[in-house]
Amino acid sequence: MATEEKDILRGGQFLVKETNCEDVFTPEDFSEEQNMMKESVMEFNDREIIAHKARFEAKDYALTEEVMRKAGEMGFLSVAVPEAYGGMGMGFVSTVLTCDYISSGTGSFSTAFGAHTGIGTMPITLYGTEEQKQKYVPKLASGEWFGAYCLTEPGAGSDANSGKTTAELSADGKSYKINGQKMWISNAGFCSLMIVFARIEDDKNITGFIVEYDDENPNGITLGEEEHKLGIRASSTRQVFFNDTVVPVENMLAGRGEGFKIAMNALNVGRIKLAAACLDSQRRILTTAVEYATERKQFKTPIADFGAIKTKLAEMAANAYAGESATYRAAKNIEDRIAMREAAGNTHQEAELKGVEEYAIECSILKVAVSEDVQASADEGIQIFGGMGFSEDTPMEAAWRDARIARIYEGTNEINRMLCVGMLVKKAMKGHVDLLGPAQKVQEELMGIPSFETPDYSELFSEEKAMIAKLKKAFLMVAGGAVQKFGPQLEEHQQLLIAAADILIEIYMAESAILRTEKNAKRFGEDTQSAQIAMAKLYLYHAVDIVEEKGKESIISFAEGDEQRMMLMGLKRFTKYTNYPDIVDLRIEIAEKVKAEKKYCF
């Protein structure tokens, strides 16, 4: 039965509506088919990617292409592609799952895979005409052709709509001539198709084109040398030059001037997939770290027995767990919204487009949070390995270098932080998410007398859920105050936007970890979830600290006198525990579990 609109939270609504744990999807909800897919992808990763890690690190670009082709033979490139165009037509969760489990072997393959299946293919499945889809998508889905996405230019990075590449209509009106230079193009070295963004005349917005590339008949396209990068060394990254490249008019994507919209929507999908692509790396880093830490002895003791190392193992596990919880929660929301729109009569294409767009806020949140967690995890992984961690002979070094790019591409983390708050404010203004009502209630609460009753927090997560509700109030107070003070000029106050984004991110991540654990505790028994409960509590504890710090700096920056004092008191109230968790004990419990299983085991 199709899910009803009322049952699914809209994007950003998590902030103002309580979510029941039964309504979140968790990795423990994978269907049999999804679990089979997961096993198959993991087996492929072990056999085809991890086994050849040294060759990837030695910049063996041909290997990346070869393994991509094998991924195509296995059907992994076509998971998200509708059956009508040669794909498997699996749902959004399965797409995310594939990105997750295929990505931990090396960032090189993960980038090639993401660039092809995401930004290289999605613009056509989402915006292509029937003819374009019939002509190109089956080739991309099978791996006969690989796709690249040419948006960035030397002068147009974050400001993606400012590109100088031009598209000029021919006198007979049958084709466009593309001229310009693109930079940092993943898969450029082995692609047969490029999604190219160019400007027609003085248009405000760029336009998207499907451009075929054949090195034997290059049509004015030349490639720069492979870039020498910090990480993802076997991911082909080149400049692409267009010199009078002729593209038939029928290869324009969507309409003239629609390119910026296409670029942004392709990136929304790319962002949640990128978050997923950082998850299995975190699992694998933790597993490798705990294996080493239980074997490596100093002072006649396995280093995993030292509190200092346990802290790291526990924090790494908790971050990975929260990342998984939030990524699959959002993935299922997107899948459900797509199904709902299809049931309401939208084509799959329209439904997918709108479904993903709806959760653009969550996609940005995930991109930022998970890309930073994987980097932190790899960093601590190196620390656990000590001097050996600094050596190319151990996997941590490459994991750390590979993780770094995730904070830069698919929109830098600065841009994504500002985007998630900006989009939320816009949604509120459009009436899609009612922030105003709840924000006013918070203001009234601030003026009122606080309750001095001691609540009953005996039930699992009752205090944590109350805390999440309070953190949401803290966000509404800070963001609401900032909007009131600056109005549309808020976008010029980047430090404030970034602080608000940090609060928003922590709320979503912590809430997701709690809801997943609560759901599992209810159905599998609390005793089976002891370490997971500890991880959810540990994650929340840090989240509360961040909300307090970011809230304080924000309030001080825009409020003065009595108003400032009232808001700071409110912040204190909204971040106060009745019973502080003993995070030292929580960390020990998590670390002991990971040590006993010698792997990320959740």
Ligand X SMILES: Cc1cc2nc3c(=O)[nH]c(=O)nc-3n(C[C@H](O)[C@H](O)[C@H](O)COP(=O)(O)OP(=O)(O)OC[C@H]3O[C@@H](n4cnc5c(N)ncnc54)[C@H](O)[C@@H]3O)c2cc1C
**Residues that bind ligand X in the complex, under the rule CB under 6 A:** 115, 149-152, 157-158, 184-186, 229, 232, 237, 405, 408-409, 412, 414-415, 494
Q: Which two tokens stand for residue 398?
A: 């490459």
DSSP 144: S
- For the bound state, the minimum distance from the C-beta of residue 507 to ligand X, rounded and expressed in Å, comes to 23
Q: 542 burial class (0-12, 13-18, 19+ CB within 10 angstroms)?
A: middle
- For the bound state, the minimum distance from the C-beta of residue 113 to ligand X, rounded and expressed in Å, comes to 12
Is residue 341 within 8 A of residue 355, CB to CB? The reply is: yes
Residues 6+ apart with CB under 8 A from 579: 457, 463
Q: Do the strands 297-298 and 221-223 form a parallel or antiparallel pair, or are they unpaired?
A: unpaired
| Pairwise CA distance, residues 576 & 553, whole Å | 17
The residue whose two tokens read 């003026």 is 447
Is residue 332 within 8 A of residue 8, CB to CB? The reply is: no
Cβ proximity to ligand X, 403 vs 415, nearer residue: 415
Expressed in angstroms, the distance from the first to the final Cα of the chain is 31
Q: Which two tokens stand for residue 177?
A: 């001539």
Cβ proximity to ligand X, 137 vs 232, nearer residue: 232
DSSP 79: T
Is residue 511 within 8 A of residue 17, CB to CB? The reply is: no
The closest residue (CB) to ligand X is 157
CA 236-238-243 angle, to 5 degrees, is: 140
| Pairwise CA distance, residues 337 & 352, whole Å | 8
C-alpha pair distances (Å), 195 with each of 211, 403, 524 = 6, 25, 47
Options 410, 506, 511, 518, the catalytic residue: 410
C-alpha pair distances (Å), 510 with each of 274, 322, 326, 540 = 20, 7, 8, 5
Cβ proximity to ligand X, 385 vs 400, nearer residue: 400
- For the bound state, the minimum distance from the C-beta of residue 390 to ligand X, rounded and expressed in Å, comes to 23
DSSP 421: H
410 assigned to active site: yes
Residues 6+ apart with CB under 8 A from 560: none
Kindly list the catalytic residues.
Answer: 410
